[in-house]
Amino acid sequence: MPSFDIVSEVPLQEVDNAVNQASKEIDTRYDFKNSKSRLEREENIITVIADDDYKLEQVLEVLRVKFVRRQVDHRAISYGTVEPAAGGLVRQKLTVRQGVEQELAKKIIKLIKDGKLKVQAAIQGDAVRVTGKNRDDLQAVIALVKGGGFDLPLQFTNFRD
């Protein structure tokens, strides 16, 4: 029986490249001269440190531009709260969301079931597996999920016929 997986994957190498390019631009820009603004990345967390709220917004804008150029979807980034840091600086943590969370997976399955298509959907780890008898039903599910308006970039992988 044909099947495919609904996943949400962000290429971490592209995120790393975007962070590195943004760091280089911050180091060379005149308006960041004598500034302590910087970016740090550990696994799925990007920490933005800046002198004040205005500089924090400028650093985030540089980072957003680099994400767009590296084709990293902005919906995959979750912005934390701005908090004070040592030395009068401000800090914000950005999380790169990987995988389909349980709550979102349940919404996707509910959307598929409400579509009255002859397919089965099941949560498998951080993905949703959709199985059906014919390819047309699966393509209808893909169109349905694409139009679902979810706040996470979804990809359709592992198509088996």
DSSP 89-127: -EEEEEEE--S--HHHHHHHHHHHHHTT-SEEEEEETTE
119 in Cβ contact with 112 (< 8 Å): yes
Question: What domains lie within the chain, and their CATH numbers?
Answer: 3-8+99-160 (3.30.70.860), 12-96 (3.30.70.990)
SS3 27: helix
SS3 40: strand
For residue range 89-107, list pLDDT tens digits in order.
899 999 998 888 888 888 8
Token pair of 84 as six digits: 């004070």
- Answer whether 0.75 is exceeded by the pTM: yes
* Distance of alpha carbon 151 from alpha carbon 161, whole angstroms: 29
For residue range 62-87, list pLDDT tens digits in order.
999 999 999 988 888 999 888 888 88
